[in-house]
């Protein structure tokens, strides 16, 4: 049986929530990112870098590891113009992981920019009769 008409896909921007860190979480975040960076600089893969430094809080650890991959993409792909495939090989991860993470980063940037734009223009946009 066929459905009449097609359901519209939701095209709204996904919602993001950004964690606010406690001072202890911030310290652990910076320490972990530095340890991961040292491991990558020493020639380790991304998995090896993650395994080289244990984070007791599982949820915070997952967040830090996800952010570290975003940092690597920002530094190597956007800043140094390294190709996504090359970056995936260097970190020994799937190209899809790099591509999907990059897409998420761009969505997060768009979300943040839209929110900031809305805050800055709150009450400034004139009402028109268009």
Encode pLDDT of 38-90 as tens digits: 999 999 999 999 999 999 999 999 999 999 999 999 999 999 999 999 999 99
CA–CA gap between residue 54 and residue 41 (Å, rounded): 18
- Domain extents in the chain: 23-120
| Cβ atoms of residues 47 and 88 within 8 Å | no
Q: What is the pLDDT of residue 12?
A: 53
Q: What is the mean pLDDT of residues 84-111?
A: 96
SS3 content of the chain, % helix, strand, coil (to 5): 65, 0, 35
Q: What is the pLDDT of residue 113?
A: 85
| DSSP of 21-56 | PPHHHHHHHHHHHHHHHHHHHTT--HHHHHHTS--S
- Mean pLDDT of all residues in the chain? 86
Task: Label residue 8 by pLDDT band (50, 70, 90).
Answer: very low
Q: What is the pLDDT of residue 119?
A: 77
Q: Report the sign of the C-alpha dihedral through residues 18, 20, 24, 27, in that order.
A: positive
Q: What is the mean pLDDT of residues 92-116?
A: 92
CA–CA gap between residue 47 and residue 10 (Å, rounded): 35
Give the global pTM.
0.77
- In terms of pLDDT, which residue wins out, 9 or 33? 33
């Amino acid at each position: 049986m066929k459905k009449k008409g097609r359901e519209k896909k939701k095209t709204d921007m996904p919602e993001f929530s950004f964690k606010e860190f406690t001072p202890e979480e911030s310290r652990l975040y910076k320490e972990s990112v530095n340890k991961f960076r040292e491991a990558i600089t020493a020639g380790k893969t991304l998995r090896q870098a993650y395994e080289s430094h244990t984070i007791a809080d599982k949820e915070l650890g997952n967040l830090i590891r996800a952010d570290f991959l975003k940092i690597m993409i920002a530094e190597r792909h956007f800043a140094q113009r390294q190709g996504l495939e090359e970056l995936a090989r260097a970190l020994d991860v799937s190209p899809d992981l790099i591509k999907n993470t990059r897409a998420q980063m761009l969505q997060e940037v768009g979300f943040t920019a839209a929110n900031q734009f809305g805050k800055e223009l709150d009450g400034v946009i004139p009402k028109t009769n268009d």
